[in-house]
A and B are shown apart, each in its own frame.
Chain A
Amino acid sequence: MIVFLVKRLANAALVMLAVALMAFLIFRFVGDPVQLMVNEQTTQAEKDALREGLGLNDPVAVQFLRFVGNAVQGDFGVSYRNQQEVMSLIAERLPATIELVLLATIISLVVGVPLGVITAIHRGTWYSEGLQFLSIIGVSLPSFVIGILLILVFSVMLNVSPAFGRGEVVSIGWWTTGLLTPSGRAALILPSVALSLYQITLVMRLVRAEMMEVLRSDFIKFARARGVPRWRVYYVHALRNCLMPVVTMTAMNIGSLIAFALITETVFQWPGMGMLFIQAVTFVDIPVMAAYLCIVSFIFVALNTLVDITYALIDPRLRTARG
């Protein structure tokens, strides 16, 4: 298990290094950073001093090492646009996105897994087929349409929920949370539902497909033959055997949700990382973009590693096989 862990972590570190190289190359070669930072009145001497000060005259390898060293300490430089530390900009926005994504993930699991099991067990019935049909709609509707529809119904017509923003937030250290105030919680509902709808249908279809596969296996027949009641066969024996791909997909999707929550964030004016990134793109704010790339990749890699470790926890065969 320990060898397995070390291997996985080394793997993850390697991937991160590759990502850092890419982020560094963007930083270094998309335009001249000095040109981007100064205005027309700056003299050549001042430019040279700035260049020297930024260490841009050092060999590329040294610069890369410095970039990685700084990145590890959470230092991604200064935003071109508002001269703020990039890291503090991101730290400000990260909690909003994470709360949104986690809630959306929880909703998608809590709703999607039982729906998948039900549609697998009762296949052929009208409600199972109906859910299947609805799930196709869920998969095909783009999230901004869902977001706009939700705003239209719940904020404009029924007026039960705020249409944009995060509501009141409470700070706990550097983390700001909307979960502790009524307006924060109310503001969280619509965006996370909008974000989770697609996930629900994915989870449901995946669980359904896996369940139908597992229910055909011999150990299910044998479990019934030794008298295990039907619900227990479904929810204990079969479901656990379906969890592996669900865990994989959910964790992978947390990564993509964070990276692509920007559509939902834009629709709901949610002050998260996605909005930050959109603004950075508009202003060619390269340090922010590089940092965003690194952080989102880090989340992806961290989740992947966690998934592998969770595998070992769910499936005893992997514990010894690759230990």
Chain B
Amino acid sequence: MTAQPTLEIRNLSVKFPGRHGTVTALDDVSLTIQPGEILGVVGESGAGKSMTGLAVLRLLEPPGHISGGEVLLNGHRIDNLPEHEMEKIRGREIGAIFQDPLTSLNPLFSVGRQLVETIRLHSPMSKAAARLRAVELLAEVGIPAPAERVDHFPHQFSGGMRQRVVIALALAARPKLVIADEPTTALDVSIQAQITALLRRLCKDNGTAVMLVTHDMGVIAETADRVAVMYAGRLVEIGPVADVVARPSHPYTRGLMGSIPTLGARVPRLQQIDGAMPRLDAIPPGCAFNPRCPLVHDRCRSERPNLRAAASGLAACWLAAASEEKAA
């Protein structure tokens, strides 16, 4: 872990000023991703998973903005770069894949034209050369008959095929980091596995770091190396995937794990976490999870826990270290 991380996020906060006061969408989030590593980011809707990705890409919808902290790509700060510098980083250094492949492609341009556009933006070459490269990329992401398909329009592809095209576009310039925001959520289950496997293979082959944002713990368990769990805009637990799955330290993570159905094991009823995540403008004092936590005690209601060493890695829970001691 001494190598230069591809992505390092330090104490990142994102705020949305609104009519009814400012909402803190991301609160003091810190994490790193090493080259070739896949970091899964999980959490409920609105927990700040996608927000983290968009903040790194600097594509937050105004009035949302980074209000504190730093984002470093290969050791260089990118959170304060002017927009035209950022345009050179997007696509070239950081690739992005969004949730819905059906709407990620411009319906009026052939996939070839969109690929050629992206390729030529990042490495100057003739249209003919870029077209050959586009066909190569399509073949790489497993699209049959790529030489013919390159001239087809997005609507002529199925959902899974379109997401392959999106991956080809995201990886066209061989970025060092890929932010994949729910890349498989809109797809059939059978296609999901193919797409995650494809993403994993391509990134491992190229040594690309991946931030895989999803709410599907199954996808994380299969694909990721490490996992970060988010809740109400904060990071609550981060650690190697096997440890977090096997020995979750935060009660919220435990709840998430309990809600995954497992084949074979006869469980009468899936566990669920009672209640709902608080609205971002009404986060309770102390630990944000305290109203839903089965193990809540007084300190959780008044003092906010920071990330600290736990059985699984780091966890933001007053009980995490204690339970560690008990286990030991």
Contacts and interface: CB of A to CB of B under 8 A. Distances in A.
Partners in one complex: yes
A314 B90 contact: no
A320 B166 CA distance: 23
Interface string A220-233: 01111111111000
A316 B153 contact: yes
Contacts of B158: none
B12 interface: no
Nearest to B121: A227
Contacts of A240: 108
Contacts of A224: 59, 90
A315 interface: yes
Contacts of B92: 227
Given A217-B103, A219-B106, A317-B107, A228 B166 contact: no
Interface string A294-323: 000000000000000000001111001000
Bin the interface of chain B by size: 20 to 34
A232 to B, nearest CB: 8
A218 interface: yes
Nearest to A321: B155
B253 interface: no
A237 interface: yes
Interface stretch (B139-147, B168-176, B258-266): B168-176
Chain A, interface size category, equals 20 to 34
B166 to A, nearest CB: 7
B99 to A, nearest CB: 8
Contacts of A223: 106
Contact of B96 (A226, A316, A320): A226
Nearest to A223: B106
Contacts of B106: 219, 223, 237, 241
Nearest to B57: A225
Contact of B103 (A219, A225, A228, A314): A219
Given A218-B98, A219-B103, A221-B59, A227 B91 contact: yes
Contacts, number: 76
B298 interface: no
Interface in A200-235: 217-219, 221-230
B86 to A, nearest CB: 9
B155 A316 contact: yes
Contact of A222 (B87, B108, B166, B172): B166
B167 to A, nearest CB: 11
Interface majority SS (helix, strand, loop, mixed), chain A: helix
A314 B173 CA distance: 29
Contacts of A228: 87, 91, 117-118, 121
A314 B89 CA distance: 32
A314 B156 CA distance: 16
Which among B108, B117, B156 has the greatest number of chain A C-beta atoms within 10 A?
B108
A315 B153 CA distance: 10
A322 to B, nearest CB: 13
Contacts of B216: none
B105 A227 contact: no
Interface in B35-56: none
A224 B59 CA distance: 8
B100 interface: yes
B122 A227 contact: yes
A237 B83 CA distance: 19
Contacts of B117: 228
B156 A226 contact: no
A237 B154 CA distance: 14
B160 interface: no
B191 to A, nearest CB: 19
A229 to B, nearest CB: 5
B155 A222 contact: no
Nearest to B179: A225
Nearest to A241: B108
> Of residues A218, A219, A316, which shows the largest number of chain B Cβ atoms within 10 Å of its Cβ?
A219
Contacts of A217: 103
A158 to B, nearest CB: 44
Nearest to B153: A316
A316 B108 contact: yes
Contacts of B110: 316
A241 B107 contact: yes
A315 B107 CA distance: 8
B11 to A, nearest CB: 24
Nearest to B96: A225
Contact of B104 (A219, A229, A316): A219
Contacts of A241: 106-108
B88 interface: yes
A296 to B, nearest CB: 33
Interface of A: 217-219, 221-230, 237, 240-241, 314-317, 320
What 7 A-B pairs come out closest when comparing CB atoms?
A227-B91, A225-B96, A218-B103, A226-B91, A222-B104, A227-B90, A316-B153
19 contacts: A217-B103, A218-B98, A222-B166, A222-B169, A224-B59, A224-B90, A225-B96, A226-B91, A227-B91, A227-B118, A227-B122, A227-B173, A228-B121, A229-B87, A237-B106, A240-B108, A315-B108, A316-B155, A317-B153
Interface of B: 57, 59, 83-84, 87-92, 95-96, 98, 100, 103-110, 117-118, 121-122, 153, 155-156, 166, 169-170, 172-173
